[in-house]
Structure 1
Amino acid sequence: MKEEFSYIVDQFADLQILRYQVPGFENLSLRQKQLLYHLSEAALMGRDILFDQNGRYNLVIRRTLEAVYQYGTVDKSSVDYQAFEVYLKRIWFANGIHHHYGEDKFIPGFSEAFFDAAVRSVDVSLLPLKAGETVDTLLARLKPVIFDPTVMPKRTVQSGDTDWIQASANNYYGEDVTQAEVEAFYGKMKAEGDSRCPLSYGLNSRLEKENGQLVERVWKVGGLYSEAIERIVVELEKAAAFAENEKQRQIIATLIDYYRTGDLRTFDAYSILWVEDTDSQVDFVNGFIETYGDALGLKASWESTVNFRNEEATRRTQTISENAQWFEDHSPVDQRFKKERVKGVSAKVITVTMLGGDCYPSTPIGINLPNADWIRRDHGSKSVTIENIMEAYDKASQGSGFSDEFVWSDEERNRIKTYGFLTDMLHTDLHECLGHGSGQLLPDTDPDALKAYASTLEEARADLFGLYYLADPKMQELGLAPDGEAFKAEYYKYMMNGLLTQLVRIEEGKEVEEAHMRNRQLIARWVFEQGATDKVVELKKREGKTFVVINDYQQLRALFGKLLAEVQRIKSEGDYEAGRSLVENYGVKIDPVLHHEIRERYVRLHLSPYKGFVNPVMREVKDDSGHVTDITLDYTEGYAEQMLRYSRDYSYLSL
């Protein structure tokens, strides 16, 4: 009898750790498995990079805590130690000392006295001391960062009347660099560059001052993060030997060249080759890609995913991408902002085999790249839906009690049970396959005009595109939606999440910071307010609990279309003030009474608002001669076990 797969691995603080399956892996050829193996090794080699990008003290704090966890001679049954263990697990999850979504610094539940004694209980040779440093100086350096709430309180600040660079604790800029200096530095580069095909200035560097002058320290071989990047390159070189075709081999070679030179022109060349490869079954993302973590949306965090195409499920996304021009032509946005000819929208459903960097342990469920608008315009985009991750989320949530607690009635519950997983995937397909690739900038619009609000507005644009079309009869005509009722499941879940349930992810007294959460609240609150007179959507009370009730699904769809038109206008024209107003007025503030209620309801259910994953362990099987005969996957590794192994085997950056 086949043993049932266990999705849930661990649960602590506001987090639940899951594992995902990799169906179909056993059916791949040995060459494909070896390609996936080396790409997966490359996905793990850059782990330390993200820790350092998220904060200049993260690596030394993580290594100190791990030394205590493994070698400290403290009372492990004490309340302090149990709080210490949770604190370390949270740092592993967030890749640093700040919450991965909320951005606020973690408050340790253990005392300074305990920490002091715990660190001193470790053999000094096992502590991450700098040359000439003592345990005393190590503690003096770390205790304010860990315990003082006024020191580095927020990882990234992207709103308010303050210097966002100075207020952010991330490590993308030198400590004495200001927001005005950053904007002037890169503004000059943009003014002197090619406006039609602009480089992603600042994407792969830290901006610092030397002798009072701003200089970029590029992340490359021989530059910043060289120790880790060299290891990534070695595994990419090994992967190239197993490439499925010459085009894929060229993609890997160009990425290696980019890592060696740090040249952003080479990054663009790599991105173009990558987006045009629609033949390879195995695919990957590896590099400095997304800019959500930078206050100004310039610097990219390091991330990686490795995957192979789910051939059967991809037929769904291929249908969507083949009709991309129809969706573009019928969009409710102004004709000036539509693409006359949609180019190269490729879409697929993938099975992920390894997550790394900013995609681990918390991962996206869909990806659309490249980010450069001019590459999208001239060469298209590649979109993926990660179905095995979505399936893991779905399976782990069954029987949690969430639906009974937060969904208004059996009508909505039954609809969600029947259509929820399908419409989730369809919304993700539309968001990634078409939403991000839709529309166009006006010729003179600066692609960075929306600054810190760009990420939120771009996610809103893609979400709205998916929501609007999910209810279109075209979805039934294409055989994607089973009937005209299915879309209501996603509409209800989206409004419930945007207005209510995602609030559990934020500490009381705080505001919404993360771009995706701001996007969802912005959309939900805007359409709620716009439809208030007609009671399109209501918040109703029952037994002291607040619920979402949708009275008119078609009118709600019309409101999604109206907001989509405005967000596209803002992006196309680079209307910073309108974008700022939309985000600040709808996406940031929280009703404190409602916030308290939602968090209390979650506590009673013992639900974790955030989920992340452990990776399967990928192993080479060799014969007596040392030749690889197979690659196997092991799903039994625990959370702490995996994190400690990664710290032992994939930690290359010096302090």
Structure 2
Amino acid sequence: MKKTILITMTALSITAGAGSAEAAGQSAPPKEFNYIVDQFADLQILRYQVPGFEQLSIKQKELVYFLSQAANEGRDILFDQNGRYNLAIRRTLEAIYLNYKGDKTSNDYKQFVVYLKRVWFANGIHHHYGEDKFAPGFSKEFFAKQVKALPQSKVPVRNGQSVDAFLAEVTPVIFDPTVMPKKVNQAHGEDLIKTSANNYYEGDISQKEVEDFYAKMKDPNDPKPIAYGHNSRLAKVNGKIVEKVWKVGGLYSQAISRIIYWLEKAGTVAETPQQKAVIEKLIEFYQKGDLKLFDAYAILWVHDTQSQIDFVNGFTESYGDPLGLKGSWESNVNFKNLEATKRTETISANAQWFEDNSPVDKRFKKETVKGVTAKVITVAQLAGDCYPSTPIGINLPNSNWIRKDYGSKSVTIENIMEAYDKAAQKSGFNEEFVWSDKELKSIRKYGFLTDVLHTDLHECLGHGSGKLLPGVDPDALKAYGKTIEEARADLFGLYYVGDPKLVELGILPDKEAYKAEYYKYMMNGLMTQLTRIEPGKNIEEAHMRNRQLIARWVYEHGKAENVVEFKQRDGKTFVVVNDYEKMHKLLGVLLAEIQRVKSEGDFEGAKKLVEDYGVQVDQKLHDEVLARYKKLELKPYKGFVNPVLMAVKDAKGNIKDVKISYTEGYTEQMLRYSGKFSPLPTYNE
């Protein structure tokens, strides 16, 4: 998935209470909406509102409900994809939590609860963003004692395995920092497959073997290549490399069958024949596992522009694989925000103008931009790799040839962005890191508008712009591909946020508005996103590399004219933009180069850009940023609990309404999901 995550490092300061599923029954947000649900470690849990849900028809609500059930059924898949021990560990931790009889005031127990909450949030034992395995704050002795105190039926042992043998196998995975230390390793010069702990590859298989396996499958002259390996685990069995496909009758069959059950129900209340065809083709793909069917589904989905209700469901995201081949399971359910969509419709209606006038070499531009569909959505349910941490914008499908021949769908998830914005009151973050009142006033006046607009442009036009030259392998940039693609989309959005065309179209109110986005982007890319990095570490996550690449490149290439600089005041470092017009021009130069690298499949060019500008961290500046951020007592990462959708049935069992509740707490929701939506065996081998 080409997706955008929140780039503004804000934090929240509104207190909130947590309720339970049993207390659910409220169908509209309370007047004093409580945004913050929980916070622990480096995480803050929020809730979001679903404005407009009550105005949907009963049939539309029913469709949202069925699609939401299908979304939740895939939760176990992502846990297993993220690491082969994740389900065993999660189920063990949950059993301890539910059966614990000891002292709940002890440090071991308190740290145990924090660890469990982190596992839920990350869908596994590795940090959801930093990729490193997080260390438990409780002791091995505490863990062993609690496991042995459980009823034996509650310990997820393998067939014939004793509890002691289970502990011997699992304990190092949790406690030993040298065992499976990184979910996704992007370090140049290392074997990225052997040093990554994700569960997309099985057996003693190397990066070269993976690359060679898929290289042999590809036909460089095929104008419509499938996404090779996208829906399978690659395994070495008795010395032979084989694909274990995720489908009915294959890996994850138990969960996929339940997803299909709810999709079939959704098909009975589809809004249009086109939407029904989309759902049926997705079901067929799940049943057969044929990636050509996935492409057929994607084309139907792109063409379904009349339905108000929409969804993503399936193997989509590939950031969890260091080679960008395997799709993590994810879902969201949403409906169109009709009023806000007028903004994105204006953008998409002018897509050809933006393509024609971009600073990119003509060789890399699309002669005809097809099928750019953009909308603003209200999300009603998040799942899989969209939950609890979620993107704020999405552009699909990923296939370059489908995007070229049929177009793409781009969405901005405005109710999620609004939740961030509404909750980020009086945090003190901007006051601490923004240079002066001039920038602060600009951010307060234009910040939310330009944030949303940059996401619109990133998703609607950025990912859909440009083209590969004939014969260029879509995977030519390998481990650097995701960073380059996100940089390309971000740059397209940034370049046009500063273009007078947006004022002419009535999307921005005046020619000063873009400066708020430029300042925030440079401050974040050069400084404040470092709050998400542990001391002494460099940057590995693709979105963070992308943002530093852009900001650092602009800073370095603008030095001669002092376009952007660091200034000191009261012993603190600040980013200052001195010339916004020259910054706009520099962004255009970098966009042209990034598009060239992408279009030509220039691996060495991609490597140089990412390694020179996107990876290394100024450790002195990093230490300063962390110290200043710590004093604010904020959490750098945010995630969400879902509202609870409840079907109200008549005496015959037919759904007569769907109610929505915002009272469920984080722990309650996670335990409910584990109890209700957990069909996979503990070990999927």
TM-score bracket, shorter-length normalisation:
over 0.9
Displacement of 1:160 in angstroms is 1.7
Q: Which residue of 2 aligns with 1:255?
A: 282
Q: Which residue of 1 aligns with 2:25?
A: none
Whole-angstrom CA distance in 1 between matches of 2:81 and 2:222: 29
Structure 1 counterpart of 2:158, from 124, 130, 136: 130
Q: Which residue of 2 aligns with 1:21?
A: 49
Identity of aligned residues (%): 67
Is 1:297 the counterpart of 2:324? The answer is yes
SS where residue 383 of structure 2 aligns?
strand
Is this contact kept in 1: 2:472–2:601, CA < 8 A? yes
Distance 1:111 1:553, change over 3 A: same
AA at the equivalent of 1:30: I
Distance 1:2 1:255, change over 3 A: closer
Displacement of 1:194 in angstroms is 5.4
Structure 2 counterpart of 1:30, from 54, 58, 64: 58
AA at the equivalent of 2:173: V
SS where residue 507 of structure 1 aligns?
coil
Whole-angstrom CA distance in 1 between matches of 2:461 and 2:469: 19
Whole-angstrom CA distance in 2 between matches of 1:362 and 1:75: 32
Is 1:197 the counterpart of 2:197? The answer is no
Displacement of 1:354 in angstroms is 0.3
User: What is the correspondence of 1:448-527 to structure 2 with a 5 Å cutoff?
Assistant: 448-527=475-554
AA at the equivalent of 2:303: E
Is 1:185 the counterpart of 2:213? The answer is yes
SS where residue 33 of structure 1 aligns?
helix
Q: Which residue of 2 aligns with 1:140?
A: 168
Displacement of 1:162 in angstroms is 1.0
Is this contact kept in 2: 1:72–1:119, CA < 8 A? no
AA at the equivalent of 1:137: A
AA at the equivalent of 2:130: G
Q: Which residue of 2 aligns with 1:89?
A: 117
Deviations 1:405-441 (A, max 9, x none): 1111111111101100000000000000000000011
SS where residue 166 of structure 1 aligns?
coil
User: What is the correspondence of 1:216-365 to structure 2 with a 5 Å cutoff?
Assistant: 216-365=243-392
Displacement of 1:623 in angstroms is 2.1
Deviations 1:254-311 (A, max 9, x none): 0000000000000000000001111110000000011111011100100001000000
AA at the equivalent of 1:83: Q
Displacement of 1:539 in angstroms is 1.0
Displacement of 1:74 in angstroms is 2.5
Q: Which residue of 2 aligns with 1:113?
A: 141
Is 1:100 the counterpart of 2:128? The answer is yes
Q: Which residue of 1 aligns with 2:180?
A: 152
Q: Which residue of 2 aligns with 1:381?
A: 408
Whole-angstrom CA distance in 2 between matches of 1:625 and 1:157: 54
Is this contact kept in 2: 1:166–1:175, CA < 8 A? no
Deviations 1:73-123 (A, max 9, x none): 222110111111111111100000000110000011111111111222222
Whole-angstrom CA distance in 2 between matches of 1:557 and 1:389: 28
Structure 2 counterpart of 1:44, from 58, 66, 72: 72
Whole-angstrom CA distance in 2 between matches of 1:142 and 1:597: 38
Q: Which residue of 1 aligns with 2:7?
A: none
Displacement of 1:2 in angstroms is 5.6
RMSD of equivalent CA atoms: 1.0
Is 1:547 the counterpart of 2:550? The answer is no
Is this contact kept in 2: 1:365–1:390, CA < 8 A? yes
Whole-angstrom CA distance in 1 between matches of 2:284 and 2:561: 58
Is this contact kept in 1: 2:221–2:471, CA < 8 A? no
SS where residue 547 of structure 1 aligns?
strand
Is 1:406 the counterpart of 2:433? The answer is yes
Deviations 1:468-523 (A, max 9, x none): 00011100110000001110111111111101111011111111111111100110
Unaligned runs of 5+ in 1: none
Is this contact kept in 2: 1:73–1:122, CA < 8 A? no
- Equivalences, count: 654
Deviates further, 116-125 or 566-575:
116-125
AA at the equivalent of 2:164: D
SS where residue 194 of structure 2 aligns?
helix
AA at the equivalent of 1:639: Y
Is 1:438 the counterpart of 2:465? The answer is yes
Q: TM-score, with normalisation over the residues of structure 1?
A: 0.99
Q: Which residue of 2 aligns with 1:12?
A: 40
SS where residue 177 of structure 1 aligns?
coil
AA at the equivalent of 2:459: E
Whole-angstrom CA distance in 1 between matches of 2:48 and 2:354: 33
AA at the equivalent of 1:72: Y
Is this contact kept in 2: 1:616–1:633, CA < 8 A? yes
Is this contact kept in 1: 2:126–2:133, CA < 8 A? yes
SS where residue 343 of structure 1 aligns?
coil
Q: Which residue of 2 aligns with 1:564?
A: 591
Is 1:415 the counterpart of 2:415? The answer is no
Q: Which residue of 2 aligns with 1:370?
A: 397
Deviates further, 532-541 or 198-207:
532-541
AA at the equivalent of 1:605: L
Deviations 1:37-80 (A, max 9, x none): 00000110000000000000100000001111110222211011
SS where residue 352 of structure 1 aligns?
strand
Displacement of 1:159 in angstroms is 2.7
AA at the equivalent of 1:141: E
Whole-angstrom CA distance in 2 between matches of 1:242 and 1:641: 30
AA at the equivalent of 1:236: L
Is this contact kept in 1: 2:548–2:613, CA < 8 A? yes
Displacement of 1:3 in angstroms is 2.8
Deviations 1:202-250 (A, max 9, x none): 0000000122110000000000000000000000000000000100000
AA at the equivalent of 1:283: D
Displacement of 1:403 in angstroms is 1.1
SS where residue 640 of structure 2 aligns?
strand
Q: Which residue of 1 aligns with 2:456?
A: 429
